[in-house]
Amino acid sequence: MSLSHLVDQLVRAAVIEDRSFDGLLPQLMEASRTASPTEMGAAMPRMADGIAEAPPNLGGWLAIVTGAWIENGADPGAAGPAVVERITDVTAGALTFANAWQEATGGAPPDMEGEQPSQQIFDTIAPKLEDRAIGTRACPPTSPP
């Protein structure tokens, strides 16, 4: 399977949060080992689409792959703006959550290693959020592939 075809499948799976993402990511990482910088550069705009459109947890994995491609000679131009925009969005969401948690409880936010997203956590911060959004999209709980 060509690199561009794998990228298209992976991005599609990331955007619709399809379980096939977990199997496709290692395939893309393996294919990337032998891909030329030109091939990776040609696929970079599609990866940028995925970074911008997928939920942050899956888009983050796409950003990691694009970073590896850049380290191996691919042109960063196509992915750079998407990565910066997504980092800004996710950081704003994290700060909104932390501030709402502090206002609601007076304490530090839950430990992400020890806690999983829960209705209780949402119920704790929801009254403090009012009209503030946590990022532009929800970040569904998904473990890395």
State how many domains the chain has. 2
Q: Which domain holds residue 68?
A: 3-79
pTM (predicted TM-score)? 0.78
Same domain, 17 and 32: yes
Whether 130 contacts 107, CB under 8 Å:
no
CA dist., res. 4 & res. 56, Å (int): 22
Q: Is residue 62 part of a domain?
A: yes
Whether 61 contacts 144, CB under 8 Å:
yes
CA dist., res. 92 & res. 77, Å (int): 24
pLDDT per residue as tens digits for the range 89-115: 999 988 988 888 888 888 888 877 776
Q: Is residue 134 part of a domain?
A: no
Q: Is residue 75 part of a domain?
A: yes
pLDDT per residue as tens digits for the range 12-56: 999 999 999 999 999 999 999 999 999 999 999 999 999 999 999
* φ/ψ bin of 143: left (φ > 0), alpha (ψ from -120 to 50), beta (otherwise): beta
Both structure tokens of 131: 């009209």
Q: Is residue 139 part of a domain?
A: no
Q: Side-chain half-sphere of 81: how many Cα atoms within 13 Å?
A: 5
Q: Is residue 8 part of a domain?
A: yes
Same domain, 35 and 102: no
Same domain, 87 and 71: no
Same domain, 30 and 58: yes
